[in-house]
Structures are given as structure tokens and as C-alpha cells.
A and B are shown apart, each in its own frame.
Chain A
Amino acid sequence: MHTSSLKKLSEGLRTRQFSSRELTQHFLARIDTLDPQINSFITVTAERALSQADAADRRIAEGTATALTGIPIAQKDLFCTEGVRTSCASRMLDRFIAPYDATVVKKLHAEAGMVMLGKCNMDEFAMGSSNETSWYGPVKNPWDLNRVPGGSSGGSVAAVAAGLAPVATATDTGGSIRQPAALTNLTGIKPTYGRVSRFGMIAFASSLDQGGVVARSAEDAAYVLQAMSGFDPLDSTSADRPVDDLLAGLQHPISGLKIGLPAEFFGDGMAVGVRAVIDAAIKTLESLGARCVPVQLPNAPLSVPAYYVVAPAEASSNLSRYDGVRFGHRAEGVKNLEELYKKSRGEGFGAEVQRRIMMGTYVLSHGYYDAYYLQAQKVRRLISRDFKQAFEQVDLILAPTTTDVAFRFGEKTDDPVAMYLNDVYTIAANLAGIPAMSLPAGFVDGLPVGLQLMGNYFSEARLLGVAHQYQQATAWHTQMPKGFN
């Protein structure tokens, strides 16, 4: 059951080949036996899962089920879940029981009827590209337990890659869906900014954060993204426009599409093996009828520096809410209020979060605001304009997701700049707010390589369609790591 597509699972539930309870028990048992190896869950909600499964079984019997009713899913531990610890992988929120559900949680569980298996590990406050910054310890990559699964949605991808969950939610501020999906042979999509509600998604950088999904195929991703997306009056930046039919979009042929290849994403930084995999994927897409042409994104190389001003600036502001007073970690034995703030935050936040808060505070401080923050926002507009011009010439843009395959633990821990450069190919899409996805394209020495597709605003249906057609012609996405298949 853990190798089946969501469509197959849905059919199995409807035709009573198995119940949602049996399906849920299957995944809970796998989590029990296999997760100690990879640490992909912070909290497993077995009891709640079984009661949701029973409710789903009743809905199926009554004929009020959706396509997803009764199918288990894992939630990144950054989405608030009422009555369940929502830690954001931080000591700060180690004992935080969310008092309400995120809109995504409400849509997937209360409305679609999916079953929540638990809350997935991640980089602390989604700040990281290796899952090494979690208060609950690193997640291991099921493809090689000595390597990182990527981040920040490392628990979500590891759980799905290892077959501990059929699908999982994730979030992407600078690549946190696509980079880990690439490193674990999954299909991950970050939709257009504003497509998925941010209500109840713990904020990191509000103008960049976007929820999405990691799955074993574009088709699986389409099912879940369809149910997650939509206007939400509770999110002031939610896009007030109808959601396209993503499942219908899967059937669109690639033939006739014009795909842009930006030279800026094919430079020396890319590993030779990755380059070969991406070149082969381009050939496959061409054989399916796509026309690949060069395209220019001249300001894209400034994405990483622009991001590491904008994102920390927003983070320093967002994370000012953790004061040790209203919720979250509170230091003991302090003399006065200022000490309470400082000690609670000093103890509650890990090193990477502290670095980003300080970086953000610095670039927003008097005397540096214009040189750093305002300049970064201007460069952000240049990057966004590049995409606008490119999409006047091409239907979508293709690039690698990462420069290389998964790296080993500790390799980049002490060098934040080296760690930040992991996201060199993914950040531009966040700055512009366009949808982007990663899909499996092959292997180098047994480790997965991801292919990135970027589309114009609200073109999720087209992106998923191209990915699906590619997956009809290839079998990379069906590969599972040894020991977990």
C-alpha cells in the first residue's frame, strides 16, 4: 500500500479492498518500525489518526467522501494543528499546543477527509537546507543515512520517500519544498505566492513563505494541491481567484510547449553528473514535443544575496513575537522583563535562527536600511522583471533544482554561506512569487537528482501537466530507497 499512487489508494478505499483504518494502521506500523532510522516525525498522532480514519470510513460508506477521504498524510510541523503540539522544530515551541487549525489543515482534514499521521521534522522555523537545525535532531536521507535529506521540509520528504506516508505537506520560502524533494527523489511543488493560505502557517518570511506538497508523483501532488489551494479571507495576502482544475491539467500534452533554458542556471556551479542528468531530461522533453530555447534571467545570480537580506529582515520582525510572555519557552530565574525577553529568546532559539534574527535586525537598523534592505528590494524587482520578460517568450523555464546530490552531515554546518548557496537555483522563484516544482530526473552514484520547472503566475496546472507527461515517459519517480521499499 505504501507504493501505491493516491489514485489507487482512493480506488481501493471506494471499492472496499481495504478500509481507511487498515490503510492508516499500515502506515503507523511503518512509522513505528522504520522512523527510528530517519527521524522524520516529531510527533506521531496515532490515536487521532485512527479516529479520523474511522470517520473517513463512515464518510465513504455514506457516499459523502472526496477523492482524498481516508488517505493518510503527514503535516510539516509548521502548520498549526488544534490540540496537537506544533513545534516548528524549535525549543521555543516545544510545548506549544496550537489553539486552532491552519486553513491547510482544515481543508485537508475537516473538508477533504484525509487522515493526519503526525507532524514532520524540519529545520528550526524552516531556516535551513539540511534539516540539521532541528531541536529534535537531524532527519536522515532514506537514500543514504549518512546524508542530509535537504531542508527545511526534510522530515516531510524523508517520510514520503521512505514510504512512511503517502504524501506530506511542506512549505517553501527559498527552496524548502524543491531542494529536499530533489535530494530524496520526490515531486514537490511550491505554488504561486498567495495560492495556498498562510493562515496558521508559522511565519518565517511573510512575503516569501508558501505552502505546498511533496509527493511521489505529479498526479499525487495535483490531488493534494487541489484540495489545499484557494482563497482564504483569513490570509490577507491570499489570491482571490478560482483554482484551476489541476487534474484536468495533467492530461495536457507537452507537444508544442516552448521551454526556456536560462544560461544563469547552467554555469560552472553545477556538478558534472547533475548536468548529464538534466541534459538527458531536456532530451526526453524534446522527444515529447517540447521546444527548448535559451532564455535570459540576467539578475538571477543576485537571488541569494537579495534573499539573505529580505528573508532575515522579515524573520527578525516575525520572530519578535516570541517573548516568553504569551506562549513559548520562558527562561527561569530572571530579574526583570528585559532579561526575560533576552534569556527566553537566547535559550529558545538555535544558532541558525539567532544568526538570521541578528542579520535581519542589522539590515533593518538605522544607517544600513537603504544600503541593504531597500537595495535588496529593488534587486528583487529586477529579478521579478526578468521572469516577466522571459515568460513573454517561453511557456515555462527549466533548470536544475540543486547544484549537486545530497551532501553528508556536518559538511556545511559551520559555514552558513556555503549552506545558503544550496538554494542558488530555487530562491529566484520565491522572490518573484512564481510557482516552481522539482521532479525526479535520474541518479548520480545512487543519489537522486531533481529537475526544476518554473512557470508564470498561477500556472500550477501547466507545471504539473508537464511533470505528469514526463513521468508517463520515465520511471525515475517510481524508484524507492533500499531498505524502505
Chain B
Amino acid sequence: MTLTPDQIQQVAHLARLDLAPDRVAIYAQQLTNILDMVGQLSGASTEAVLPMAHPLDMHQRLRPDVVTEPNQREAFQAHAPAVQDGLYRVPKVIE
């Protein structure tokens, strides 16, 4: 499995990552090497094996449907890069 610089750009786009141009080829080589290592997995016989998403056999707990969280808007917005009138500011979304 070889990842090309174009594929790296596509993956970076999906992950919303802006890559420095001089890093793209390096990442392509490094991720190819990682995928080669990971390729060993295909040799494992996993027929009828259920995927394991979580280490403990546990179910999502339920709790009474009551409000437990106070409103902390101000505390949480205190470390936002830009807020105005209690709202988060972002650049123009609609051109």
C-alpha cells in the first residue's frame, strides 16, 4: 500500500488540516511505512470474530432525566478566541 502526495492532500482535507507544502511528501512516505506495518493485520484469521470496540463488557448507564448541569456559558466562552453578545464569532460562512 503506497500513499501518494495527492492522497495525503485528500486525507488532510477530510481531517481539515492545512499541511505545509514541504511536509506532504514526508507524510506520504511516513504514512506508507505505517500502513505497511499495519498491513500485518490482514494475515490474521478473524472469521466469525466479533469486532471489539471496548475493553469492558458494559452497557451505557441510564440516569434519571433531570437537569444536572448548570448554565456555564460565560465560563466556557471566557477562553473562546472570539465571542460577541454571548455567541461565538467565526469568519463569514456564506460568500
- A residues apposed to B, CB below 8 Å: 95-97, 99, 193-194, 207-208, 233, 236-237, 239-240, 299, 302, 304-306, 308-309, 316, 320, 323-330, 334-343, 345-347, 349, 351, 354-355, 357-363, 365, 371-372, 374-382, 384, 415-417, 420, 431-434, 457
Contacts and interface: CB of A to CB of B under 8 A. Distances in A.
B46 A375 contact: yes
A96 B90 contact: no
A372 B44 contact: no
24 contacts: A97-B78, A97-B79, A207-B55, A237-B58, A305-B39, A309-B38, A325-B90, A326-B80, A327-B80, A336-B93, A337-B90, A342-B13, A343-B18, A345-B18, A354-B17, A355-B34, A374-B51, A377-B53, A378-B49, A416-B34, A417-B33, A417-B34, A417-B36, A434-B55
A433 B30 contact: no
B93 A99 contact: no
B38 A372 contact: yes
B81 interface: yes
Nearest to A304: B37
Contacts of A233: 61, 63
Contacts of A340: 90-91
A336 B93 CA distance: 6
A457 B41 CA distance: 26
A384 B52 contact: yes
Contacts, number: 175
Contact of A381 (B16, B39, B52): B52
Instruction: Report the 6 A-B pairs with minimum CB-CB distance, sorted nearest first.
Output: A433-B55, A346-B18, A377-B51, A330-B81, A381-B52, A378-B46
A376 B11 contact: no
Given A306-B41, A375-B44, A416-B30, 11 more contacts: A99-B78, A239-B56, A308-B38, A342-B17, A346-B20, A358-B17, A362-B11, A378-B44, A381-B50, A382-B49, A415-B33
Interface of B: 3, 8, 11-20, 23, 27, 30-31, 33-42, 44, 46, 49-56, 58, 60-61, 63, 72, 75-76, 78-82, 88, 90-93, 95
Contact of B11 (A239, A334, A358): A358
Contact of A372 (B12, B41, B46): B41
Contacts of B35: 362
B53 A207 contact: yes
Contacts of A345: 15-18
B79 A193 contact: no
A362 B41 contact: no
A305 B41 contact: yes
- Interface of chain A: mostly helix, strand, loop or mixed: helix
B15 A358 contact: yes
Given A302-B40, A375-B42, A417-B34, A380 B52 contact: yes
B37 A420 contact: yes
A355 B55 CA distance: 25
A437 B63 CA distance: 34
B81 A357 contact: no
B27 to A, nearest CB: 7
A231 B61 CA distance: 12
Given A355-B27, A374-B51, A361 B37 contact: no
Contacts of B92: 336-337
A236 B79 contact: no
B52 A325 contact: no
A410 to B, nearest CB: 16
Contacts of A299: 44
Contacts of B16: 320, 323, 338, 341-342, 345
Contact of B55 (A97, A302, A346, A384): A384
Contact of B54 (A207, A323, A336, A351): A207
A380 B53 CA distance: 8
Contact of A359 (B31, B50, B53, B60): B31
Nearest to B7: A362
B88 to A, nearest CB: 5
A345 B41 CA distance: 30
A371 B42 contact: yes
A325 B81 contact: yes
A358 B26 CA distance: 13
**Which interface residue of A338, A358, A417 has the most chain B CB atoms within 10 A?**
A358
A347 B18 CA distance: 8
**Which interface residue of B46, B50, B80, B81 has the most chain A CB atoms within 10 A?**
B81
B81 A308 contact: no
A99 B18 contact: no
A141 B95 CA distance: 53
Contact of A99 (B38, B60, B76): B76
B36 to A, nearest CB: 8
